[in-house]
Amino acid sequence: MKETKTLFKQITVGFAVALSLVAACLLAGCSASSNEKVELEIYAANSLTDAMTEAQEAYTAAHPEVTFADSQFEASGTLVQKMEAGGKPDIFISANKKNMDKVVEDGLVAEDAPFDMFANDLVIVAADSSDLNELTLQEAASGTYTIAVGDKNVPAGTYAKQALYTVGCYTNESGTDGEITGPIKGKVTEADKVGSVCSYAQAGEVDLGFVYSSDVMRYGGVKVVCIVPSTDHQPILYPAAVTKDSEHAEAAAAFLEWCTTDPEAQKIWQKWGFELEG
């Protein structure tokens, strides 16, 4: 059964990448041959920084004709703003569907190009030195603790606010365009990236931070005190796509296919706490 599921995943992802390639090639042209040296630029969610950097190095080692230049790792909303301002990455990987939908709406990514690449979990962390060990979401939002979450440009912050809505501490179910309320009002710090949330918790500037499970491995210095139930927020998925303006659409699609099917790539994602979707 596991082998069948793996095969199905590879076929499904391969088909999605193929669609992405066809769309990008039709719009941008695919003049590069497999042996032509190309530089790819990736815009990827900040939480992917270490994992994607290692993956890029592994890919170049196996495919020396492909290198990576000026990859951008920022909050997904910030990356969208950069693309709207004229940034032209070959690949965009968002930490949520909302931001991918935005670049599709803007005409920067073909409608049939995106596919769900990774899944992640939302967790609540405290400093390693903290006396806190196990909390429920309700206990975390009881007003006893100070909290850090991502701001409106940080998908992890949106998921956190969706979870807080379920316990009466945010005024909008979508996790956007609302306000912190209830017993934690005045006790929440919003950060411009998920790394800052981890830093606040690690330094003891707040008692708790809402981050991805992969961030615990990435930053260290914090421990998980609660895994937020997946029913309390929208699924945490990372859609990826080759962009319409990519001048190296063929090479970009080949890299994404390697990311989702190659055993070495899968080891890298697992090492950094990411789960391939499918």
Domains by residue range for the chain, with CATH: 2-119+237-276 (3.40.190.10), 122-232 (3.40.190.10)
Q: DSSP H helical segments within 29-62, as ranges?
A: 49-62
Burial of 178 (0-12, 13-18, 19+ CB in 10 A): middle
Burial of 68 (0-12, 13-18, 19+ CB in 10 A): buried
Torsions phi, psi for 237 (to 5 deg): -125, 145
pLDDT at 278: 63
Q: Among 67-76, 128-137, 153-162, 269-278, whose mean pLDDT is lowest?
A: 269-278
| Backbone dihedral region for residue 275 (phi beyond 0: left; psi -120 to 50: alpha; all else: beta) | beta
> What number is the average pLDDT over the span 46-59?
96
Distances in whole angstroms, Cα of residue 173 to Cα of each of 53, 110, 227: 34, 29, 20
Higher pLDDT residue, 203 or 22?
203
**The tokens 């899968």 sit on which residue?**
266
pLDDT at 29: 44
What does the alpha-carbon distance between residue 68 and residue 65 come to, in Å, rounded to a whole number?
10
Query: Is residue 12 very low, low, confident or very high in pLDDT (cuts 50, 70, 90)?
Result: very low
Residue 278, SS3 per DSSP: coil
pLDDT at 2: 38
What mean pLDDT is reported for the chain? 90
What does the alpha-carbon distance between residue 39 and residue 62 come to, in Å, rounded to a whole number?
15
Tokens of 67: 């290198």
pLDDT at 134: 96
pLDDT at 35: 67
Tokens of 231: 């029913």
pLDDT at 70: 86
Contact 38, 253 (CB under 8 A): no
Residue type, 215: D
pLDDT at 25: 45
What does the alpha-carbon distance between residue 39 and residue 26 come to, in Å, rounded to a whole number?
20
pLDDT at 202: 96
Helix (H) or strand (E) holding 127: strand 122-127
> What number is the average pLDDT over the span 89-109?
97
Query: Among 208, 58, 186, which Cα is nearest to 133's?
Result: 208
> What number is the average pLDDT over the span 62-73?
95
pLDDT tens-digit readout, 21-51: 444 444 444 444 456 899 999 999 999 999 9
pLDDT at 277: 82
Tokens of 217: 């491995």
- Flag whether pLDDT at 20 surpasses 90: no
Contact 194, 156 (CB under 8 A): yes
88: number of Cβ within 10 Å: 14
- Flag whether pLDDT at 273 surpasses 50: yes
111: number of Cβ within 10 Å: 11
What does the alpha-carbon distance between residue 192 and residue 208 come to, in Å, rounded to a whole number?
16
Torsions phi, psi for 96 (to 5 deg): -160, 165
Share of the chain above pLDDT 90, in %: 83
What does the alpha-carbon distance between residue 120 and residue 105 come to, in Å, rounded to a whole number?
25
6: number of Cβ within 10 Å: 14
- Flag whether pLDDT at 68 surpasses 50: yes
**pTM (2 decimals)?**
0.80
